[in-house]
A and B are shown apart, each in its own frame.
Chain A
Amino acid sequence: MNRCQDFSGRRWRRRPASLRHGTIAGAGSSTVWLLVVFVVIVTARAYAEEVTPAAVARRIDQHLMPKPPGEGVSFVDDPAFLRRLTLDLAGRIPAVSEVYEYFEQDTGARRHTAVRRLMQSGIYYRNMTTFWRRSWVPQADTREFAAVTDGFEVWLFQRLRDGARYDELVADILTQDRSADGSASSGPRGFYDANLAKPENLAASSSRAFMGLNLDCAQCHNHPYSRWTREQFWQTAAFFAVLSTQDLPRSGPPKIRIPETKTECEPVFLTPTDLRVPPDADSLGLRQTLVAWMKHDGDRWMAKNAVNRLWSHFFGEAIIEPMDDLSAHDAQSGPRAALLDDLASMFIASGYDLDVMVEGIVSSQPYRLPSATASRSDYPLTTVPIRGLTGEQLYDSLQVAAGLPVERMDLGFRGSRSPRREFASRFYVERTHGAERSITQALALMNGSLVNDMTTAKGNPFLASLLTSAFMRPDDQIDTVFLAVLSRHATAAETEAVRKHFNDNPALPREDRLGGLFWALVNTAEFSTNH
């Protein structure tokens, strides 16, 4: 009995009889879907020239900033913008030299100059590697899977740096040849490893990571409020079925059995489509078909999911929350849905060019709004959420503040064993706009060796150079520490407070006084947030 195939009562499962039974010959159907992929690519390429970062920024402004600036809307000042931008693009605060350089530039052009400069640096791709890896393989942030994805990050970094399109990355991950050499030092196989190569894990993770759809609950039962059925879950899992060559030639598509039932499911797409699964498809062919559907799907979930997640990188909160439930009923209409729909269209038209979307977002007016509480405000926006720094951002920012080099991904990458990864793991945050600091983390930042080494000239090149600048007035030294740690000048009240403590502790060596100031500033909430 095959309940899985016979069931057809629900809206999203209804499809033509010819599809249900897979009657078209394998070679013919392969040609059909290849053709569709080709058409999609050609169409996307034709539009590619029209979508510029400036056009993306304008579109965002039209959605979110209907009023001209000045009418109840204000923007952050330029130093605050530089810090926000550098944290988002490079994953670290600006070095004190970058802050000085920025101050010296023409105020009309320096924001744009900073965007271009940061996006051309290798650290931008390293930062986006961390972001996308976390979006796609969140398991790697747990102890159990920390190591299996090192190769994934090396691979992703290289692909992003080489200008790979988003749709190509998704295809690379889902259609990799799993029989290839498992000892390869880099490659996307970490996605399979983190999902234990199980069809059901891969189905849930792929839907969540690449489509923004949550099928997890449907794995075990039909959830009363969920749009997806248990059969649909296993039909998606069937695309990842492990096929043995002895099964060939098969009479039809491969089947996967729902555990503890007699129901067998064959691969069926989640939404109605003209694509079909070639009945003789091998494991690779099945997954290629799935990727083709993901791009071809009329709801454009793949593009929407990418834009939605990317948005959350720059604003904390995504356009649609929760990010893995894009098919939810109340995510289909309203101003948020309209914005996401528009941006997804532009993303597809750009040829899935992530850099165009990134530059468009950081060039938009909403990106320059002042930060305030994390409470969800409806569009149009007037403020953006204060975000906690991720563990990686915090580690790299500490290094930069202390004048130390930031660990590079392309040179001597030490993966999960590096001090950076160890630190980042201890300071892990799931979502930046809801970041929580624990007592344990606070203790580490106050008393741990990493920060305490930075309070001495020996462990802090920035401090060392400040101490040798004997000609500098004390107030200027204080201000320089603020610039290095908080990327802004000290206020009059802050300078006064620090001066008072300097005077109260005449017996303390200058190294301890300035080192103590450095320590105090990295322990402020301001340092640990992107605001």
Chain B
Amino acid sequence: MPHSRLSRRSMLRGLTLGAWGGSTTSWLPTLAEVAAESPRKPKSVILIWLNGGPSTIDLWDLKPGHANGGPFREIATTVPGMRISEHLPNLASVASEFSIIRSMATREGDHARARVASLTGYTPQGAIAFPAIGSLVAHEFDIESDIPAYVHIGGEPAVTGGGFLGPQYAPFVIGGGRGRAALEDANVRLKVDDLVTDVTPARGYRLRLLTDLRSVSRMPSAPVVDSLDSARERALRLMNPKAAAAFSLDDEKPSVREAYGTTLFGQGCLLARRLVERGVSFVEVTLDGWDTHANNFEQVKTLSQQLDRGVASLFKDLSDRGLLSDTLVVCQGEFGRTPSINGQGGRDHWPATWAVMLGGAGVRGGEIVGRTSADGTRLESDPVRTADLMATVFQGIGLDPRKQNMSNVGRPIRLADPEGTPIKELL
């Protein structure tokens, strides 16, 4: 039963909260030190999610001299032979930290379906509630912490719950989600609303009361009820001042904040660094706006500048702090875009040939995997499927892609679709 595990954990946490009941000066002191900065062992993943389907032919696999190439020029990087877009100069200077897969080939050309397939690594099958890779990684490392183990920054996760792993592995979403006004100010959007950390006597009383009432409640166990209890318990743990401090970007030096870029995305990358520093297993940072059916080049140029500044700073910062060897950074969207340029100067959906950038923990940097034809429409090497990429990511962070978890339909499901094989050149 997938939910019996949750019930057991819920009960344990309920007891902890009850035992803590006497104290009114700090939150959950027995757990507090876990959220503190400590020497980290388990790996983390930062997924830079380029929402809408990035034009990777204008980022990582340019076609200069061909009509499909468009106006962008290539520039050299610190890695001989690796050339990328002229609008990614900072990334070019840290190119030895990452590799590029130029032979991604997938099937889904519809945003919603492609997102689910990219994030779960599986094609939807009947009633199986496939979890996102973020939930899988959080579940495998299972770090005991007051900070949620899977955090999504700046968008709306395509897979909202924890799938068959249960609600405690659902992404914690900040800076996006439904019902948030479209605020551009990164400081306002990345603030966690209603995160109260000071405990007045009245607050302590009512929290203890709530815990005791839960313990005598007659509500039966059901997924809907478990989700409510789990969310409340995880919210309470986040109210631990040390956990909450992970989200206060004001603690960073102005020069650091400036380096990442003052955009929502740039500050999201900085927040991702703060989170992995504190042991968070999986962080997604969304950069939206890549669905460039019209006016592709102007938009991709602007987006590239944000991407370049945020991700290059992230690589440098992680490296300077000794975190890069434990943190895998993956940069992708749900598919690529047509090599041919349409009548509106745009590019349309194209899952047949596209590129992914990745670097950090367990993955060799400075490599180029695969090759596309001169016009960008065909692969001239073996295709890399989503399942292969998934297997590579899991292997890179030291997890066995063939590890099985019991699904909601009573069938064991492997971390990565067994059709996938890790990419040897990168490991």
Contact = CB atoms under 8 A, between A and B. Distances in A.
B224 A512 contact: no
Contacts of B109: 220
A195 B210 CA distance: 45
A387 B224 CA distance: 7
Interface in A511-528: 512-513, 515-517, 519-521, 523-526, 528
A524 B233 CA distance: 11
A500 B205 CA distance: 11
Interface in A402-438: 422, 425-428, 433-438
Contacts of A446: 194, 196, 232, 235-236
Given A374-B224, A516-B206, A439 B201 contact: no
Nearest to B196: A447
B228 A388 contact: yes
A448 interface: yes
B167 interface: yes
Given A447-B195, A525-B217, A438 B206 contact: no
A447 to B, nearest CB: 4
Contacts of A493: 216
Given A386-B220, A442-B232, A493-B216, A447 B205 contact: no
A304 interface: no
Nearest to A519: B206
A443 B194 contact: yes
A442 B209 contact: no
B50 interface: no
Interface stretch (A54-62, A149-157, A501-509): A501-509
A438 B173 contact: yes
A520 B17 CA distance: 14
A373 interface: yes
B222 A372 contact: yes
B174 interface: yes
Interface residues of A, number: 59
B110 A494 contact: no
Contact of B223 (A373, A447, A512): A373
Interface string B146-173: 0010000000000011000001001011
Residue among B170, B177, B205 facing the most chain A CB atoms (10 A cut-off)? B205
A497 B212 CA distance: 7
Contacts of A507: 201
Contacts of A528: 228
A455 B206 CA distance: 11
A441 B235 CA distance: 9
Nearest to B113: A217
Nearest to B110: A220
Interface in A438-461: 438-444, 446-448, 455
Interface string B119-163: 000000000000000000000000000001000000000001100
Interface string A467-506: 0000000000000000000000001011001101100110
Nearest to A512: B202
Contacts of B193: 440, 443-444, 448
A437 B231 contact: yes
B403 interface: no
Contacts of A271: none
A501 B212 contact: yes
A386 B205 CA distance: 29
Q: Which size class do B's interface residues fall under?
A: 35 or more
B209 A498 contact: yes
B73 interface: no
A390 B228 CA distance: 13
A436 B229 contact: no
Nearest to B212: A497
A419 to B, nearest CB: 12
Contacts of A142: 178
A299 to B, nearest CB: 24
Given A438-B170, A447-B196, A523-B210, A491 B216 contact: yes
B173 A447 contact: no
B178 A426 contact: yes
A443 B202 CA distance: 17
A393 to B, nearest CB: 13
Interface string A126-161: 000000000000000111000000000000000000
Interface in A232-249: none
B316 interface: no
A512 B194 contact: no
Contacts of A428: 178-179
Interface in B93-135: 109-110
Residue among A371, A388, A438 facing the most chain B CB atoms (10 A cut-off)? A438
Given A438-B231, A526-B219, 16 more contacts: A143-B182, A373-B222, A374-B222, A427-B179, A436-B170, A438-B173, A439-B235, A441-B231, A442-B232, A446-B196, A446-B232, A505-B205, A516-B202, A517-B209, A520-B210, A524-B217
Interface of A: 141-143, 220, 371-374, 385-388, 422, 425-428, 433-444, 446-448, 455, 491, 493-494, 497-498, 500-501, 504-505, 507-508, 512-513, 515-517, 519-521, 523-526, 528-529, 531
22 contacts: A372-B220, A373-B220, A374-B223, A425-B179, A426-B179, A436-B170, A439-B172, A440-B192, A442-B231, A442-B234, A443-B239, A446-B196, A446-B236, A447-B196, A494-B216, A501-B212, A505-B201, A512-B202, A516-B206, A524-B213, A524-B219, A528-B228
